[in-house]
Structure 1
Amino acid sequence: MGQDRTEDALAKKGRMVALVIAGSMLLWILAQWIAPMLGVPGRFVFLFDFAVLAALIWSMVVTYQIWRARQDTKG
């Protein structure tokens, strides 16, 4: 019973990581495409880049935590 809850929680975390990666990449692509049309200065476009980079670093950390948790439950 406890094993199932742990697996469900890890699966939920995995889905969240997948959504963050997909959403941040979509946001980054849209920002790179729309910013020149709106005449946004390059220094503001870098803010989008850094925000996406932070999201990807966060997703790598959470992915590592999921991996470690699955290793611990294996035995």
Structure 2
Amino acid sequence: MQNRPDPADLQRARQVRLVAIVLAGTMLMWMGAQVLGGQLGLETRYVFLFDLLAIAGFVWALVVTFQIWRGRRG
């Protein structure tokens, strides 16, 4: 007999996968923006804009990770 995963576990796995993709994408976007900003000589305000976007992505991932952790405990 085959054990099927709980639907809550599948939902949690989707959330974890999404967090991983957002973290990796945010990091790659931020590093790319830093390199391109330096090569293109972008103004500081645009570089800070990329920094703020990266911080927003990381904060979102932290909040969702905390929610996953809390859901796992309950």
Residue 36 of structure 1, CA deviation: 1.6
* Structural RMSD (CA): 1.0
Aligned length: 70
Instruction: Please identify runs of 4+ aligned residues in structure 1 that moved more than 3 A.
Output: none
Deviations 1:3-30 (A, max 9, x none): 7100000010000000000000000000
Q: Which has the higher helix share?
A: 1
TM-score (norm 2): 0.91
The unaligned stretches of length 5 or more in structure 2 are none
Tell me the alpha carbon deviations over residues 27-75 of structure 1, each in whole angstroms, 9 at most, x when there is no partner.
0000011112112101111000000000000000000000011111xxx
Task: Structure 1: give runs of 5+ residues left out of the alignment.
Answer: none
Identity %: 44
State the alpha-carbon separation in 2 of the partners of residues 20 and 30 from structure 1: 15
